A and B are shown apart, each in its own frame.
Chain A
């Protein structure tokens, strides 16, 4: 495949034609922050976190959805981009109820990580007062719409990898939310195979496995005593023989 020569943050690299700038940045040893992008899934360019500046192009472009071009001069970490990402993150935080201290995903959350990485130490917007109900109808998983950042990674994982097409997006603007099948509770969605790919694709705590939050944790404490009791019974039988 023909190679394309370009420069990312001053590092000259050669990338295969057709590769996108997010992939090319990895070759240059440059990390471009992203949220809706997940290796293995199609590209939607929804979160705008990976915007980069290309010399000669007036507007920033999403690195995940922009193919490499010959002699491109790409900048991923300018003051303008830093400000842009900071405001985007603040809006994401303000749009839902992102309370790390009370979230199952805390410590393994991409939104939380991005805030720390990009220096979002407070949020200048006020969260909406709306209360969104969780969907806990599925026996193994839960969905909390107030933590969803609408990256659609779950929707793509479900369709493109599992082939189940359970998840979809409904509503517009602030009303946008996930729906299972044609808007039924997740536990009643006939197409769902309970594979859990959506949960593993979720960057935040919107889709989660039940039993993983602090209060839900159960330890099978009886395991040891049950085993020893059985062994004792077995040895009695041996004696009786």
Chain B
């Protein structure tokens, strides 16, 4: 039997959930032997592959690239996990929502800020900075999500509980202390 194919994805988040994932320490070695990590910010893979068994999604959906990748990974993954508070409910990434027009936020950060070097987005001709969506959304507002792993970030033991359950083919049962937001 081939190993389960696992992916982790980083949308609009701070990478803290992935840092927490690395806190799994020596269990990562066991995990690496038990699964194939086919896509991840910590693996140099350019395109999200097909036939993934479990995908952990960190971060909210804040820009066009996030949206495209989330739709793509949903199509190509059997199980999608909202990994951390940003993916679960928007969290800090969604704090811009009450501020309204994202255009003004971009202008504030890239044009008007005293630290702005060029007074515009980098490389505007090629549009390398993806367009912000009008509103930041949690993953389940865009695609079907199969399991939720709250926390900012979820602690390593939460991640292990969830991943072990998913790899065993069951849905994760997190204890009340393991499913707190924040």
List chain A positions with a Cβ less than 8 A from chain B: 93, 97-103, 106-107, 112-113, 115-117, 119, 121-124, 126-127, 129-132, 146
For B85, list chain A residues within 8 Å (CB): 99-101
A124 to B139, CA, bound (A): 11
A101 near B92 (CB under 8 angstroms)? yes
CA distance A112 to B174 in the complex (A): 15
Interface of A, helix, strand, loop or mixed by DSSP: loop
Contact of B179 with A97 in the complex, beta carbons under 8 Å:
no
B176: chain A residues at CB < 8 Å are 116-117, 119
* Alpha-carbon distance A97/B89, docked complex (angstroms): 11
Q: How many A-B pairs fall under 8 Å by CB?
A: 71
CB 8 Å contact bits of B90-131 with A (1 = contact, 0 = none): 111011011110000000000000000000000000000000
12 contacts between A and B (CB under 8 A): A97-B98, A99-B92, A99-B94, A99-B95, A101-B182, A102-B92, A112-B182, A115-B180, A119-B179, A122-B138, A127-B97, A129-B97
User: How far is the CB of A21 from the nearest CB of chain B, in Å?
Assistant: 23
**Given A93-B89, A121-B150, A122-B89, are A103 and B182 also a contact pair (CB < 8 Å)?**
yes
List A contacts of B90 (CB < 8 A): 99, 127
- Complex interface: chain A residues within 8 A of B180 (CB): 100, 112-113, 115-116
Mask: chain B, 139-151; 1 = CB below 8 Å from A; 0 = not: 0110001001110
